[in-house]
């Protein structure tokens, strides 16, 4: 018996994407740039309440350009949230700079403002001033941006807000992506909306975004021939993919709604076990925090769950062809960053040890939910 795969988070196309793509084809706007790119950038600005947006090839390239624009160079330090996808930190290394990793707090699972302050105080003493701070909104849950921005401003360090997982999330109505000097979005295939691959750099600083567009299109000086006085990059989004993005943005609210329903559904499901001796924990919203619930994640502490571990759940689900995944492995535990300095408090280590991301697509069917819950029922019945 071959059961079809239930994915963690698969693309979910709406009604208008193909029409926009057809428009690009019929007008022969296949190259990078073009009317869809302009319209997509405008729509992203409206969605995130930012003044300027540059559509790019990926979230990774957006972070890279933000670091370049902030003048990050060899031997500079950049503070980065430790628990995240490696793409938050890799561009620091592209610049030959050094990441310093900051652990999380328990409420949002994101950068701990207290540890950030400690790290800044120490940097002030030893003169290793960071050129930027990169907090992340893990799984769509906003980081404590008010605290982080206040501390960053106090020390005069710009913030690159990695909102790759958090389009549609907000704090008291202020959208994720609009808090930092720069905001970063991703439209990779597994994100809440997708252009198959893509990203965006957001800012209220017109000059910075203009410069980002210049660097992203090979840094051509204005001259009839090809003339260059900067190193350029090929980071601009194509007009075809921006067409997909326009259609996807139109359905963003539906996608957020569907994913928030997934979360509620899982929470409801697990409550019957939590009422009978188990203690499955969730990433909870504090007052004013609105997560897009990109992925629903649980924490399974074996000491509080009759010995049940997230690995038991992961392997049992895998045997049923249901994809789940441990939470991001913190950067301070990654072989490639093992020599980096980090400020730790045990929170992200615990999240990695006990955390599991559950299937969370906005296109999950009733039948798929039944299979997931049947599998979980079988596991719980053994404990």
The binder of ligand PLP chosen from 29, 40, 85, 235 (CB under 6 A):
85
As measured in angstroms, the least distance from the Cβ of 378 to ligand PLP is 31
Among 45, 47, 50, 60, binds ligand PLP (CB under 6 A): 60
Tell me the pairing of strands 342-343 and 98-102.
Answer: parallel
Task: Name the minimum Å distance from CB 186 to ligand PLP.
Answer: 3
Q: Give the shortest CB-136-to-ligand PLP separation in angstroms.
A: 5
By CB under 6 A, the residues from 15 to 34 that bind ligand PLP are: none
Residue 88 makes contact with ligand PLP by CB under 6 A? yes
Nearest to 285 by CA among 135, 102, 140: 140
Helix, strand or coil, per DSSP, at residue 310: helix
Size of interface with ligand PLP, in residues (CB under 6 A) = 14
The verdict on 164 binding ligand PLP (CB under 6 A) reads yes
What is the smallest separation between the CB atom of 26 and ligand PLP, expressed in angstroms? 28
Distance CA 97, CA 78 (A): 7
With respect to ligand PLP, which residue has the nearer C-beta, 41 or 308? 41
Q: DSSP assignment of 176-244, as one string?
A: TTSSSSEEEEE--TTSSS--SS-EEEEES-HHHHHHHHHHHBTT--SSSS---SS---B-BPBHHHHHH
| Cβ-contact 352, 330 below 8 angstroms | yes
- For residues 70 and 211, is the Cβ–Cβ distance under 8 A? no
Q: How far is the CB of 188 from ligand PLP (least distance, A)?
A: 4
8 Å CB contact between 267 and 36: no
For ligand PLP, the binding residues in 110-149 under the rule CB under 6 A are 136
Q: What is the DSSP string of 248-281?
A: HHHTHHHHHHHHHHHHHHHHHHHHHHHTTT---E
Residue indicated by tokens 């620091």: 92
Residue nearest to ligand PLP (CB): 59
Residue from 188, 238, 296, 340 touching ligand PLP (CB under 6 A): that is 188
Pairing outcome for strands 297-299 and 355-357: antiparallel
**At closest approach, how far in Å is the CB of 42 from ligand PLP?**
20
If one asks whether residue 53 binds ligand PLP (CB under 6 A), the answer comes out as: no
If the CB atoms of residues 84 and 178 are measured against ligand PLP, the closer one turns out to be 84
User: Which position among 17, 76, 103, 165 is part of the footprint of ligand PLP (CB under 6 A)?
Assistant: 165
Shortest Å distance, C-beta 110 to ligand PLP: 10
Residues that bind ligand PLP in the complex, under the rule CB under 6 A: 58-60, 84-85, 87-88, 136, 162, 164-165, 186, 188, 199
């Amino acid at each position: 018996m071959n059961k079809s795969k239930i994915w963690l988070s698969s693309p979910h196309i709406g009604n208008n994407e193909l029409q926009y793509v057809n428009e690009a084809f019929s007008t022969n706007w296949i190259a990078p740039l073009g009317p869809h790119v302009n319209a997509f950038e405008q729509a992203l600005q409206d969605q995130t309440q930012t003044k300027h947006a540059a559509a790019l090839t990926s979230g990774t390239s957006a972070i890279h350009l933000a670091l370049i624009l902030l003048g990050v160079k060899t031997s500079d330090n950049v503070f980065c949230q430790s628990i995240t996808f490696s793409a938050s930190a890799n561009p620091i290394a592209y610049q030959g700079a050094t990441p310093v990793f900051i652990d999380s707090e328990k409420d949002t699972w994101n950068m701990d403002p207290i540890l950030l302050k400690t790290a800044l105080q120490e940097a002030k003493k030893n003169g290793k001033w960071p050129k930027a701070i990169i907090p992340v909104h893990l799984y769509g849950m906003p980081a404590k941006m008010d605290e982080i921005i206040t501390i960053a401003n106090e020390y005069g360090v710009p913030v690159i807000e990695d909102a790759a997982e958090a389009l549609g999330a907000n704090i008291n109505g202020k959208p994720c992506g609009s808090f930092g000097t720069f905001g970063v979005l991703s439209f990779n295939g597994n994100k809440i909306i997708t252009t198959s691959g893509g990203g965006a750099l957001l800012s209220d600083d017109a000059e910075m975004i203009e410069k980002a567009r210049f660097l992203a299109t090979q840094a051509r000086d204005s001259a009839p021939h090809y003339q260059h006085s900067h190193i350029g990059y090929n980071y601009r989004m194509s007009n075809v993919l921006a067409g997909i993005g326009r259609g996807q943005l139109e359905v963003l609210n539906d996608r957020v709604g569907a994913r928030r329903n997934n979360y509620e559904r899982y929470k409801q499901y697990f409550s019957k076990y939590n009422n009978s001796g188990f203690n499955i924990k969730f990433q909870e919203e504090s007052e004013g925090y609105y997560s897009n619930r990109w992925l629903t994640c649980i924490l399974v502490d074996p000491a509080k769950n009759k010995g049940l571990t997230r690995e038991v759940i992961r392997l049992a689900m895998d045997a049923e062809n249901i994809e789940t995944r441990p939470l991001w492995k913190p950067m301070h535990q990654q072989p490639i960053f093992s020599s980096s300095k980090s400020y730790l408090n045990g929170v992200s280590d615990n999240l990695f040890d006990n955390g599991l991301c559950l299937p969370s697509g906005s296109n999950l069917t009733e039948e798929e939910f039944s299979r997931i819950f049947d599998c979980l029922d079988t596991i719980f019945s053994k404990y």
